[in-house]
Amino acid sequence: MSTPAISPTASNPLWNRFGSYAVAVALAAFIALPLAWMVISSIKPADQLFSSPPRILADHWTINWYVTVFRDSGAAVFFWNSLVVGLSSTIFCLVIGTLAAYAITRFDFPGKSAFLIAALVTYMFPAIVLFVPIYMILNTLSLIDTRIGLVICHTILTFPFAVWMLKSFFETLPREIDEAAWVDGCSYLGTFIRIVLPLSLPGIFSVAIFVFVLSWNEFLFASIVMTSSDLKTVPVGISEFITSFDIRWGEIMALGTLATVPVVVLFSLVQRYFLRGVLSGAVKG
């Protein structure tokens, strides 16, 4: 992220430094308080979680809900499934994505611009419009209720922005590096694997985290592809906890916290690449 080029006071006469603090803190509270409330609720004992009127803080805390969730419910398997699907989607998306992005930045081939435009259109294309035919294609291929089926869906969702982000990373590598390797007799594939990939690892790593986070959070396709309970991912598995007659809020807040923490930690590792991605228009919201 480049440093601000302008005097910040010039862009915003509406309020001064303290006004900026006040507005920013108020908005941060709007974001953080519900999250904090989820975490606090997940470590409150039952008598204080279900007190009327609600109490902000408890006089003692407990990790009981977390224990219950893993001991008495099938929740652990949801996390395992999300991990497997997330990692598989990441690897699959990155393999075909890096190859395509490399082809786009280093070679001229017929249909290149059509491919780039198709990726851009797909990036804007809403999943809900295409989920019926995709469901039926997966059904024909017998991929419903398989991890491969969901990996394909998550690659459809993440592939377009992965290609655009990888393209912007590969463009920052000088072509002379590749050309020197070719002159030295290195094959195209060898150059790609041994020279280009290692040099763009930070960029590839950040794209990998975006793909993983999106896969981890994705609900629509996960809910239609995975039907048997031992294959369900975190969002689908948890969503079924709250349709039961008694809503067990303690367990649910523990599950919500557990679903959120991994992606927040991962995201904080690559936040500055995220900002760069927004600048290049390659991030989907």
Partner 1 sequence: MSNAANAAARGRAFTGLAFATPAILFMAVFVAYPVWEAIRLSFVAVDAFTGAEKFVGFRNYQELANAPKLWPVLINTGIWTFWSLIGQFGLGLVAALAINRDIPGMGAIRSILLLPYVVPVIALALFWRWMLDGSFGIVAVSFQDMGLLAPDQSPLALPSGAMWSVILANIWRGFPFVMISYWAALQAIPPEQYEAAQVDGATTMQQFRFVTLPNLWNVTKVLLVLRFIWTVTFFDIIWLITKGGPAGSTEHWPIWIYQETMGFFRFGYGSALAVSLGVMILVVIAIYGLVIRATSGARP
Applying CB under 8 A, which part among 47-55, 57-65, 68-76, 83-91 lies near partner 1? 47-55
Is 245 a binder of partner 1 (CB under 8 A)? no
The site string for partner 1 over 73-112 (x = CB under 8 A, - otherwise) reads ----------------------xxx-xx-xxx-xxxxxxx
Token pair recorded at residue 169: 């990373």
Binding mask 119-138 for partner 1 (x = CB under 8 A): x--x-xxxxxxxxxxxxxx-
Stretch that binds partner 1, among 6-14, 68-76, 168-176, 196-204 (CB under 8 A): 6-14
Site string for partner 1, 195-224 (x = CB under 8 A): ------------------x--xx-xx--xx
Shortest Cβ 203–partner 1 spacing (Å):
17
Q: Tell me the closest approach of the beta carbon of residue 183 to partner 1, in angstroms.
A: 12
177 lies in the binding site for partner 1 (CB under 8 A): no
* Contact call for residues 224 and 127 (beta carbons, < 8 A): no
From the list 226, 101, 121, 242, the residue with the least C-alpha distance to 167 is 101
Q: CB of residue 249 vs partner 1: minimum separation in angstroms? A: 6
- Count of positions on this chain that bind partner 1 (CB under 8 A): 114
* Candidates 59-67, 167-175, 197-205, 268-276; binding stretch for partner 1 (CB under 8 A): 268-276
Instruction: Please give the single-letter amino acid code of residue 285.
Output: G
With binding defined as CB under 8 A, does residue 253 bind partner 1?
Answer: yes
Residue 6 Cβ vs partner 1, minimum distance, rounded to whole Å: 5
The residue within the footprint of partner 1, chosen from 89, 168, 206, 257 (CB under 8 A), is: 257
Rounded Cα distance between 112 and 114, Å, is 5
